[in-house]
Amino acid sequence: MRYTISFLLATCLVSAARADVPRVVTDFGPVQSLVQQVMGDLGTPVMLLSAGGDPHDFQLRPSQAATLAEADLIFWDGPELTPSLAEAIASLAETARSVALLHEGGGKVRTFADGEGIDPHAWLDPANAQAWLGTIAAELSARDPENSAAYAANAAAARAALAALDATLAAQLAPVRDKPFVVFHDALGYFADHYGLNVAGAVELGDASTPGAAQLSSLRALLADARAVCIFPEAGRDPKFIATVAEGSPVRIGAGQDVEAITLPPGPGLYAALLTGLADTLTACLSAD
Ligand SMILES: [Zn+2]
């Protein structure tokens, strides 16, 4: 009988603790992955962007606005990545705490290569992700102090795993550090800064447009001037334009890069898969022959 009572008591305590776990909403895969690692089995953060969605083009649907309205805590990259989300989040300031990790996560912020504006792709610097994990744990603990030990332990484990991955990737990328390459959109700055890689430029063309002759020749000049070894298309986008740019040049076309993790299955493992995938596409092309 005593066993039963203490068992029931323990069950009640566990459900009481779980009942206080905040409802957490995130913007897209990389942030959801980091938050999921900190929440562990206490809960699953919702991801607003559906699989395959490009965060740059994100428009909030009514069902997603409803999900957002029920949140206690919102973790997202920031208004520079998803401007439409910024307005919706601002309107929820009374009911939910929101944390724009790009600005409030404690990591580094850089400007785009052309100097025009803040580059929102900050999740691609694993040092930023390390800082964000700590911020996420602190925010969850402030909202849910009963589970703060679990959040802190999960964040510490995630940071240790990420430090190990970072060391592996640094060793993998070291031999290709001086090889110039061109990317599709200017998204790799944080990753390149962290690992000391040589991004020569970005193609930066809107999805639907067809390259004009002037643009084509300036991109071909960029490849030649930079002596670019590789040019990388993007996962989930038509690589035809990249092939046109590369025509008649010795530049190699690498495998598609997925900087926004739109083709990766969501979950705690997504973040490591994202960094590993980027490092693998880079070394596979840049170190060939
Ligand atoms: Zn981007």
Using one digit for the tens of pLDDT, what is the confidence trace for 149-172? 999 999 999 999 999 999 999 999
Distance of CA 288 to the CA centre of its chain: 27
| Residue 223 confidence (pLDDT) | 93
Whole-number pLDDT of residue 54: 87
Q: Considering the chain, what is the average pLDDT of its residues?
A: 90
Pick the closest to residue 228 from 286, 287, 280, 288 (CA basis): 286
Q: Is residue 269's pLDDT more than 50?
A: yes
Report the separation in Å between the CA atom of 41 and the middle of ligand 1, taken as the mean of its atom positions: 30
Asked if residue 91 has pLDDT above 80, the reply is: yes
Give yes or no for residue 2 having a pLDDT over 60: no
CATH topology of domain 21-169: Rossmann fold (3.40.50)
Distance between Cα 81 and ligand 1 center (Å): 7
**From CA 93, how far away is CA 58, in angstroms rounded?**
21
Residues 6+ apart with CB under 8 A from 99: 73, 74, 75, 76, 105, 135, 136, 139
80: number of Cβ within 10 Å: 19
- CA dist., res. 258 & res. 281, Å (int): 10
Residue 260 Cα, ligand 1 centroid: separation in angstroms? 6
Around ion ligand 1, residues with a beta carbon closer than 5 Å are 187
Residues 6+ away with beta carbon under 8 Å from 223: 182, 200, 231, 245, 246, 249, 251
> Residue 169 C-alpha to ligand 1 middle, in angstroms?
21
pLDDT greater at residue 99 or residue 216: 99
Q: Report how far ligand 1's centroid is from the alpha carbon of 286 (Å).
A: 22
pLDDT score of 13 more than 70: no
CA of 54 to the centre of ligand 1 (A): 8
CATH of domain 174-286: 3.40.50.1980
> What spacing in Å lies between the alpha carbon of 172 and ligand 1's midpoint?
24
CA of 177 to the centre of ligand 1 (A): 22
For 174-209, b/e burial (b = at least 16 CB within 10 A) is: eebeebbbbbbbbbbbbbbebbebebbbbbebeeee
Distance 10 CA to ligand 1 centre (A): 47
**For residue 289, how far is its CA from the centre of ligand 1 (angstroms)?**
30
Higher pLDDT, 84 or 267: 267
260 Rama sector, left if φ>0, alpha if ψ -120 to 50, beta otherwise: alpha
pLDDT at 214: 84
Instruction: Report yes or no: 153 and 133 within 8 Å, Cβ to Cβ.
Output: no
Report the C-alpha gap between 273 and 262 in whole angstroms. 12
**Domains 21-169 and 174-286 agree in fold:** yes
Distance 258 CA to ligand 1 centre (A): 9
**How many residues are given for the chain?**
289
Would you state the pLDDT for residue 96?
93
pLDDT of residue 240: 86
Q: Which of 75, 68, 77, 114 is nearest to 95 (CA)?
A: 68
User: What per-residue confidence (pLDDT) applies to 12?
Assistant: 46
Q: How far apart are CA 211 and CA 270, in angstroms?
A: 33
Least-confidence region, from 132-146, 200-214, 266-280:
200-214
pLDDT at 123: 98
pLDDT at 216: 86
Contact 190, 124 (CB under 8 A): yes
Buried b (16+ CB within 10 A) or exposed e, 225-236: ebebbbbbbbbe
**CA of residue 46 to ligand 1 center, whole Å:** 21
Q: Kindly report the pTM of this predicted structure.
A: 0.91
Most confident of 87-91, 92-96, 270-274: 270-274
Q: Check residue 209 and give its pLDDT.
A: 58
Spatial CB neighbours of 77, under 8 Å, sequence gap ≥ 6? 27, 28, 30, 31, 55, 100, 101, 102, 120, 122, 123
| Domains of the chain, residue spans | 21-169, 174-286
**Angle CA(283)–CA(286)–CA(289) in degrees, nearest 5?**
110
Q: Would you state the pLDDT for residue 51?
A: 72
Tens of pLDDT, residues 207-244: 445 667 888 898 899 999 999 999 999 987 778 888 98
Q: How confident is the model at residue 11 (pLDDT cuts 50, 70, 90)?
A: very low
Give distance in angstroms: CA of 245 to centre of ligand 1: 20
Task: Please state, in angstroms and rounded to a whole number, the distance separating the CA atoms of residues 83 and 74.
Answer: 15
Residue pair 181/173 in contact (Cβ under 8 Å)? The answer is no
The answer, yes or no, to whether residue 79 has pLDDT greater than 50, is: yes
Q: Ligand 1 centre and the CA of 187: distance in Å?
A: 5
Better-scored residue on pLDDT, 207 or 259: 259
